[in-house]
Amino acid sequence: MSGNGGTITLRLYGALRHAVGSREVQLPGGEATVKETLRSLTQHHQRAAALLFDGQGNVWDSLILLLNEEPAAEGPATPVRSGDVVSVLMPLAGG
């Protein structure tokens, strides 16, 4: 992530929120992708890594990724800029 000032807001839900200890996290802004933004989160919150990335370093397909309250059109490759809000929702299971 290259810094251009401003911030990117991550909104976290489910187990991810508990792993990080917060519903929202502010990260330095700039131009990045959703994947790069999530990787940046794990630098300070290592417990989140297994919830976000598989063993090959790919973002789990089961995550629901939103950019500014809309589905992230390109998934993890979706561009993110300062001022954007990335929401990460965890899948739910049960019956």
How many CB atoms lie under 10 A from the CB of residue 8? 24
Output the pTM of the full model. 0.89
Chain center to CA of 43: 12
pLDDT in tens, 20-66: 999 999 999 889 999 999 999 999 999 999 999 999 999 999 999 99
Q: Do residues 28 and 3 lie in contact, with contact meaning Cβ atoms separated by under 8 Å?
A: yes
18's tokens:
């508990």
Statement: residue 94 has pLDDT above 80: no
Statement: residue 92 has pLDDT above 60: yes
Residue of 64, 52, 68, 53 whose CA lies nearest to 9 = 68
- For residue 81, name the pLDDT band (cuts at 50, 70, 90): very high
Domains of the chain as residue ranges with CATH = 7-89 (3.10.20.30)
